[in-house]
Structure 1
Amino acid sequence: MTNIYAVILAAGQGTRMKSKLYKVLHPVCGKPMVEHVIDQISGLHTEQIVTIVGHGADKVKAQLGSRSAYALQAEQLGTAHAVIQAQSILEGKEGCTLIVCGDTPLIQTSTMEALVKHHEDTNAKATILTAYAERPDGYGRIIRGADNSVSRIVEHKDASPEERAVKEINTGTYCFDNKALFDALKKVSNDNVQGEYYLPDVIEILKAAGETVSAYQTESFDETLGVNDRVALSEAERLMRARINEQHMRAGVTIIDPQNTYIGPDVVIGSDTVVHPGTVLSGSTTIGEDCIIGPNSEINECEIGNRTFIRQSAAFDSQIGSDVNIGPFAHIRPQSNLADEVKIGNFVEVKKASFGKGSKASHLSYIGDAQVGSDVNIGCGTITVNYDGKNKFLTTIEDGAFIGCNSNLVAPVTVKKGAYVAAGSTITDEVPEESMAIARARQVNKENYVRKIFPKND
């Protein structure tokens, strides 16, 4: 295969989105549209990717980083004008150049591979990615000659009734011979109502020069969807979600209700895991085999082992082992590390804390900035008092310790191995190994006190 280059058109502001966020940065399934595009292009092993930026250039660059070179289209004067901004980077190079819009998040590597192959097989100077549209209104039509070659692209507003009946449409994705592309771009005129330079005019220039122009029709019209407003964004989200969920189900994951399950494109799930409705899995989350997730759970940037059960709970940026039981209504905050066989029960919040194997906090507790050993039992209502209004401090609970209900562990403090803390205690000093700490006022009963305060009328 010849050298492949790619140009991503990402300079437009997207006024129809009616948003402060630049169009190509709007997320689809949790990832900006333009990043979906570059992910798929990267699968082609391109020699060079150039992203054309304009509005929001710095934010687009910050999102894509070193994965692309950049060219600035300071003034938006049409698609041909956008591509020619890459001239200093690509002109004169041998190979073919893909032109892809940054607002087409559904396009796939396999489709672009097929487009490039068709381009090479037909020895074309330009190849248009086309699709069959049941309702082609608003799209440019592909008009083919008697030999099935492309005669021209005609815009909907300029098409005759016969041409409007054609349902093969121009998707806006192209493959060009790189040298022919930049030679032709210099000849594109802006002699039109909008006064802009249009990329489809390159097709006419190449045809007039007697060059071969071909078209490859993708089987999936959905892949070619361009997002120009919030309605199309919602449709892209729906289609992408369905694609992602199908991939997981075909790989052995049970998704009870795919229409109400939201899984990001970078999530990895092991076989025989069951995902219940209302669940949101995002970021680079990895879930092992035989887990049960949900219903109504939110998990972001977590690594989860096998056979773990997380129901009606939220977990973020944390490590969660195998055979762990979380929820319902638990909150695992960032930088937590739960070892195998840990139980985090209902209304328990864990923040920047580690739990050793087999430890439990089953009810109504806050465990923050803590190191909890193995086989520790933390009773209902326990709080690690980690913040003095200015600084955070560490609580250490060693292996086998037992923390009674309604205890306050005022950090920095250590409960040593095998120690007990009596219910209702406020612990401010170290508890020695295998000792019991009782830190509460002694109970005093005042006989007949209520009668003295509230005497009864006889």
Structure 2
Amino acid sequence: MNKINAIILAAGKGARMNSTKPKVLQALSDKTLLQHVLIQAQQLCSQVFVVYGFGGEQVQQAINDDSIKWVQQVEQLGTGHAVVQAMPQINNDSISLILYGDVPLIEQSTLKKLIAQAEKQGVALLSVILDNPTGYGRILRKNGKIQAIIEQKDANIEQIAISEVNTGIMAVNSGLLKVYLDKLDTNNAQGELYLTDIIAMAVADGKIIASVIADNEFEVAGVNDKVQLAELERVFQKNQATKFMQNGLTLKDPLRFDCRGTLSFGQDCEIDVNVLIKGDVSLGDNTLIASNCILKNAKIGNNVAILPNSIIEDAIIGDGASIGPFARIRPDSNIGEDAKIGNFVEVKKSTIGKGSKVSHLSYIGDTTMGRAVNIGAGVITCNYDGVNKHQTIIGDGVFVGSDSQLIAPVTLGKNATIGAGSTITKDSPEGRLTLSRSKQISLKNWNKPIKKN
């Protein structure tokens, strides 16, 4: 195989995005448009050139990859002019693969076909059949062989009716490409150097243009505005969902599922509607993720139930645990086996022991909790003194009554009981009942307030 050079055209401003960011830095799932293209290019090519223009410094900083060769296109004078900028650094005995930074869903299998054809014929072109080809350059054929590409603004009525269009993606012998680029002129409606004009030049030289037709329209779809970006986002998510289901994941509605990261899962896992996966998430066997949950960088064990409207971030959930509904597990939390984190409970930077329960309306922060602990409703660990965070230690078998405050730093000994409504400021001994309440009184001369007119 010849040496392969990717030339990714990424100089456009993308004015229709109405954004301060260059078009190629708009996000599709968890990556920029350009990053999606780079992933494919770097897996196939020995060198990757990115031709940048508008916001070039911003693009380079966002990508932050020293292996990329950055090439500036000071003036945007057309696709041919953009490719010319990279050619001085490319050897003749190689293949140049032309890609676009705003065409993010091109598949590696398609590019491999294109490169293989270029190695045989010297010039290979990727096209696609569209029901509505408006705006695209049309592929002109004679006896089935490609003769040229005509841009819509330069096409006649008969040519405009053609449904096979140019994607702009091509693979060309680099030596040939340099020869043809030198011959380009601006004799067209746009007054630019069209890369597509090299096809007619190659045909005039007696070259056969190898043809690869994309199987999927989404592979070659470009992004010019936020509407098209949203449309491709849904295609991307649907494709991911299909792969997950083929590998055994149950999705109640694949059209209402988003994975903006990586997801691994065991057998018999089920995900309900409107679940968002971010970062790196793994699910064990027989795990249920109910509707409206957000999981980010979470490791979730076997036989776990994540109930509706719960958020888990940078945390570990042990086998058999139950989380939610409406629970929030914040970073650096480790929920033990068979533990229960219930309604409207927030856990932050804490370890919850096996079989412990925090069932409702509580905040547990900077806490190490043992096994079989029962935390009543409305309990909070007061871990912040306004300057520093402090630890709460709760031993095995502790029972904390409802509406209690644990003022850290504090330790509750094994099998201690905290009476409801207590404010605990000192360590509680093992096996003892600890409580703090003022004496209850009833006032004889008190009158209930009357509403004023």
Would the alpha carbon gap of residues 119 and 402 (structure 1) be closer, same or farther in structure 2, given more than 3 Å must change? same
| Counterpart AA for 2:121 | A
2:110 is matched with: 111
Find the aligned partners of 2:229 and 2:80 in 1 and give their Cα distance: 25
| Residue of structure 2 in register with 1:239 after alignment | 235
- Whether contact under 8 Å (1:244, 1:265) holds in the other structure is no
Residue 255, structure 1, aligned to residue 251, structure 2: yes
Q: Give the secondary-structure state (helix, strand or coil) at the position aligned to 1:157.
A: helix
- Counterpart of 1:222 (choices 210, 218, 223) is 218
**Mean CA deviation greater in 73-82 or 268-277:** 73-82
C-alpha deviation, 1:167, in angstroms: 1.2
Using the alignment, how far apart are the partners of 2:397 and 2:183 within structure 1?
79
The Cα RMSD (Å) is: 2.2
- Letter in structure 1 aligned against 2:54: H
Q: 1:142 to 1:437 in 2, by over 3 A?
A: same
- Whether 1:160 aligns to 2:160 is no
Secondary structure of the structure 1 residue equivalent to 2:312: strand
SS at structure 2 position matched to 1:242: helix
Note the C-alpha offset of 1:405: 1.4
| Secondary structure of the structure 1 residue equivalent to 2:349 | strand
Amino acid at match of 1:61: Q
User: 1:130, 1:215 within 8 Å by CA — same for their partners in 2?
Assistant: yes
* Alpha carbons of structure 1 residues 181 and 314: separation in structure 2 relative to 1, 3 Å: same
Q: 1:403 to 1:55 in 2, by over 3 A?
A: farther
Q: Which amino acid aligns with 1:32?
A: T
- Partners of 1:335 and 1:114 in 2: how far apart? 46
Q: How does 1:301-320 map to 2 (within 5 A)?
A: 301-312=297-308, 313-320=310-317
1:434/1:87 Cα in 2 relative to 1: closer, same or farther (>3 Å)?
farther
Map 1:397-408; keep pairs closer than 5 Å: 397-408=394-405
Partners in 1 of 2:171 and 2:161 — Cα distance? 26
Determine helix, strand or coil for the equivalent of 2:366: strand
Matches within 5 A, 1:26-45: 26-44=26-44
Matching residue of 2:16: 16
1:356-402 alpha-carbon deviations (Å, 9 max, x no partner)? 22222111001122222232222211111112222222222233322
Q: Which runs of 5+ in 2 are unaligned?
A: 449-453
Give aligned pairs, total.
447
Please give the alpha-carbon distance, in whole angstroms, between the structure 2 residues aligned to 1:316 and 1:199: 47
Q: Which residue number in structure 2 is paired with residue 173 of structure 1?
A: 169
What is the distance in 2 between the residues matched to 1:385 and 1:233? 45
| 2:350 is the counterpart of 1:357 | no
2 CA distance for matches of 1:58 and 1:409?
51
Query: Structure 2 vs 1, CA of residues 334 and 93 (structure 1 numbering), >3 Å: closer, same or farther?
Result: farther
SS of equivalent residue, structure 1 residue 182? helix
Other-structure match for 1:185: 181
SS of the counterpart of 2:351?
Answer: strand
Structure 2 vs 1, CA of residues 5 and 321 (structure 1 numbering), >3 Å: closer, same or farther? farther
CA shift in 2, pair 1:172/1:269, >3 Å: farther
The corresponding residue for 2:451 is none
Equivalences for residues 340-379 of structure 1 within 5 A: 340-379=337-376
Residues 71 and 434 of structure 1: CA distance in aligned 2, closer, same or farther (over 3 Å): farther
CA–CA distance in structure 1, aligned partners of residues 412 and 82 of structure 2: 65
1:216 shift after superposition:
0.7
Distance in 1 between the 2:317 and 2:78 partners?
Answer: 50
Per the alignment, in what secondary structure is the counterpart of residue 244 of structure 2? helix
SS in 2 for 1:323: coil
1:326 to 315, 323, 327: 323
* Contact map agreement 2:261 2:277 (CA 8 A) in 1: no
8 Å contact from structure 2 (residues 154, 188) kept in 1: no
SS of the equivalent of 1:131 reads strand
Corresponding position: 1:79 with 2:79: yes
- 2:428 aligned with 1:435: no
Q: Deviations over 1:106-133 (max 9, x none)?
A: 211111112222323xx22221111111
In 2, distance between residues paired with 1:358 and 1:7? 57
Shift, 1:325, TM fit:
0.8
TM-score by length of 1: 0.91
Change (3 A) 1:308 1:166: same
Paired letter, 1:162: E
Question: Could you report, residue by residue, the CA deviation over 1:216-243 in whole angstroms, capped at 9, with x for unpaired residues?
Answer: 1111122111111122112111211111
Map of 2:378 onto structure 1: 381
Match of 1:97 in 2: 96
Deviation at 1:54, TM superposition (A): 2.5
1:344 CA drift (Å): 0.8
Task: Report the alpha carbon displacement of residue 95 of structure 1 after superposing the two structures with TM.
Answer: 2.5
Which moved further from structure 2: 300-309 or 221-230? Answer: 300-309
Shift of 1:295: 0.8
Q: CA deviation at 1:88?
A: 4.7
Alignment of 1:415-430 (within 5 A): 415-430=412-427
Q: 1:176 to 1:310 in 2, by over 3 A?
A: same
2:288 maps to a residue whose letter is I
Structure 1 residues 394, 183: closer, same or farther in 2, change over 3 A?
A: farther
Question: Aligned partners of 2:440 and 2:28: how far apart in 1?
Answer: 63
- Measured after TM superposition, the shift of residue 414 of structure 1 is 2.1
Asked whether the 8 Å contact 1:125–1:206 carries over to 2, the reply is: no
The equivalent of 1:69 in structure 2 is 69
Cα 1:228–1:208 change in 2 (3 A) is same
Structure 1 residues 353, 86: CA separation in 2 closer, same or farther (over 3 Å shift)?
Answer: farther
Question: What amino acid maps onto 1:36 in structure 2?
Answer: H
Task: Note the C-alpha offset of 1:176.
Answer: 1.5
- Give the secondary-structure state (helix, strand or coil) at the position aligned to 1:236: helix
Secondary structure at 1:34's aligned position in 2? helix
Q: Secondary structure at the match of 1:239?
A: helix
CA distance in 2: counterparts of 1:429 and 1:270, whole angstroms: 45
Identity of counterpart residues, as a percentage? 40
1:269 alignment partner AA: F
Q: Within 1, Cα distance between the matches of 2:63 and 2:284? A: 29
d(CA) in 2 for partners of 1:104, 1:142: 19
Question: Counterparts of 1:416 and 1:60 in 2: how far apart (Å)?
Answer: 56
Code of the residue aligned with 2:388 in structure 1: it is: N
Query: Match of 2:54?
Result: 55
- Once residues 290 and 68 of structure 2 are traced to their aligned partners in structure 1, the CA distance between those partners, rounded to angstroms, is 38
- Give me the whole-angstrom Cα distance separating, in 2, the residues matched to 1:413 and 1:72: 61
